[in-house]
A and B are shown apart, each in its own frame.
Chain A
Amino acid sequence: MQWLWENRDLVFGLSLEHVRLSVIPIIGGFIACIPLGWLANRFRMTRAIQLTIFGILFTIPSLALFVTLPSVLGTKILNPINVVVALTIYAIAIMVRGAADAFASVPRDVIESANAVGFSSASRFWTVEFPLAGPVLLANLRVVSVTTVSLLSVGALVGNGALGYLFINGYQRDFPTEIMIGIVFTLVIAVVFDQILVLIGRILMPWARRPRRSPRALMVRGAA
């Protein structure tokens, strides 16, 4: 505790850095997965291809990706963009299957009925399919969020791990308190992100959370 107080500026700064570096991949991965998931769900072929490609991408060890990305991107090894890009790739790899499943989870008869009453395909996608895929998308996004926050620490090995620095530093100095502080703060960030996502879901998807009330209590006109 005393160590934490004495190094509060360092820990606070690293936490901010951690938030900053993990928010971009989470949002970026989510946005990229909307068209990818739609494509995968729309055409059988693209689904197979996408799932294979991103399946392979996900098997690349994170450290190897951190190290090789600078030469691919032409960036300096210490540039935080490397870590951000790598984590975005992982976010997409984790999420693309879930996004495909999310669009597949939209009930067939709802889509049919939207067609029948005259939705154009664009308005049907944005106002029917996308919101109805929301609950499954959100579930996947929560996994991505937690994974990204924890995976970011590995970036410390290439100089951009935010709170991961505490792990390496604590290990080198044989100082468990510092490692513990790192773990606790990483956990707190992961939990806070998760709760924010849940809250956003509740606000944007009120229909998904309302409990089914007994139809009997709502009856008007006798049998109806």
Chain B
Amino acid sequence: MIEFHGVSKRFADGTLAVDDFSLLIPSRKTTVLVGSSGCGKTTLLRMINRMVDPTSGYVDIDGDGIAAMPPVSLRRSIGYVMQNSGLLPHRKVIDNVATVPLLTGVPKKEAHARALELLDTVGLDRSLADRYPSQLSGGQQQRVGVARGLAVNPNILLMDEPFGAVDPIVRADLQHELIRLQRDLDKTVVFVTHDIDEAFLLGDQVVILQVGAHIEQQGAPSDILANPANEFVADFVGSARGKRRLMVDETADSRGDDLVLIDGAGYPAGVVDAPGGVLPGAGSSPKSRSISNKTDQAGDA
């Protein structure tokens, strides 16, 4: 469990990146901080491993204040995955995965054996172990980054837009791999992204942030989708709404009792039982005819 207590951060140049932020991040769940660039989400993430220290307020991990913990050992106990993988270009894949165990003095042989297992875990072929990062594709590099983050078997995994720099197909692949991993590993994941679709797909808890890390809304994806707290959230969530809305396919032959539902891209998403060709509970407003849920997001991606 990670707790932010009234945390603020003012950088040396005077910008107030985080303004009085409080949040409880539950253990063994994925919490996604989502917001546009410059909203302070990365600063929040970096406060958890003391890459950034708050100007005021404090952060606790499992009830212990991290301000008293030495940054280097704290960071070694927390997995960190960043955009563009952040791998060390002069080290082979296997040494990159084993970076932290080797730093903490684990014998090389043992660290390498564990690193090979981790390559399996993240779905990489062991034959890649002796390559350098530049010889891997973007998606493979990100997988190595995730494996490195998992190398010390940390309770907490921080992910800073880890899939931001790969193409959409690879990204979808990596997202589902992360969901699978999280099902097996049960880590406390804090994930930062500006992509609301990604946030809804991955998050158990989603926190929507405005400039200064002001929380606009937090909760389960379905709650946020169903009841946006304010216009900003509705707008932010709605930028992708076209994709999420299902509608009756007017072109389909609907003389029977079934109506075909299509998604924003025009693909059939399902069939509803509609006696007499009328959608149950359908009024005249288009809003009531749109059905939003998370599952068809998963289907999209």
| Chain A residues at the B interface, C-beta cutoff of 8 Å | 107, 109-110, 112-120, 123, 128, 131-132, 134, 205, 207-208, 210, 212-213, 215-216, 218-224
From B87, B103, B132, B134, A118 is in contact (CB under 8 Å) with: B103
10 further interface pairs, Cβ-Cβ under 8 Å (given A110-B86, A207-B90): A116-B51, A117-B75, A117-B80, A118-B74, A119-B72, A215-B136, A215-B138, A220-B125, A224-B124, A224-B143
Query: Is B82 within 8 A of A218, CB to CB?
Result: no
Report 6 cross-chain contacts, Cβ distance below 8 Å, ordered by A residue.
A112-B51, A116-B75, A117-B99, A131-B90, A215-B140, A218-B140
Measured between C-beta atoms, what is the minimum distance from A105 to chain B in Å? 12
Q: How many residues of B contact A (CB 8 A)?
A: 41
User: Does B68 make an interface contact (CB < 8 A)?
Assistant: no
B86, B87, B138, B174 — most chain A CB neighbours (10 Å): B86
Query: Is A220 within 8 A of B124, CB to CB?
Result: yes
Query: Is A224 within 8 A of B170, CB to CB?
Result: yes
Measured between C-beta atoms, what is the minimum distance from B146 to chain A in Å? 11
A117, A208, A213 — most chain B CB neighbours (10 Å): A117
| Nearest neighbor of B119 in chain A, beta-carbon distance | A220
| Chain B residues at the A interface, C-beta cutoff of 8 Å | 46, 49, 51, 72-77, 80, 82-84, 86-91, 99-100, 103, 123-125, 128, 131-132, 134-140, 143, 148, 169-170, 173-174
Residues of the B chain whose Cβ atoms lie less than 8 Å from the Cβ of A120: 72
Query: Is B100 within 8 A of A218, CB to CB?
Result: no
From B86, B100, B137, A112 is in contact (CB under 8 Å) with: B86
Residues of the A chain whose Cβ atoms lie less than 8 Å from the Cβ of B74: 118
**List of 3 A-B pairs having minimum Cβ-Cβ separation, nearest first:** A113-B86, A215-B137, A118-B76
Query: Is A220 within 8 A of B128, CB to CB?
Result: yes
Query: Is B82 within 8 A of A112, CB to CB?
Result: yes
| Nearest neighbor of B140 in chain A, beta-carbon distance | A224
Task: Give the complex CA separation of A203 and B128 in angstroms.
Answer: 21
Query: Is A223 within 8 A of B140, CB to CB?
Result: no
A115 in contact with B75 given A109-B82, A132-B90 (CB within 8 Å): yes
Query: Is A118 within 8 A of B75, CB to CB?
Result: yes
From B73, B84, B88, A128 is in contact (CB under 8 Å) with: B88
Residues of the A chain whose Cβ atoms lie less than 8 Å from the Cβ of B76: 117-118
Task: Give the complex CA separation of A220 and B128 in angstroms.
Answer: 9
Residues of the A chain whose Cβ atoms lie less than 8 Å from the Cβ of B140: 215, 218-220, 224
| Nearest neighbor of B87 in chain A, beta-carbon distance | A113
Query: Is A114 within 8 A of B135, CB to CB?
Result: no
A114 in contact with B123 given A224-B137, A224-B140, A224-B173 (CB within 8 Å): no
Residues of the B chain whose Cβ atoms lie less than 8 Å from the Cβ of A117: 75-76, 80, 99-100, 103, 148
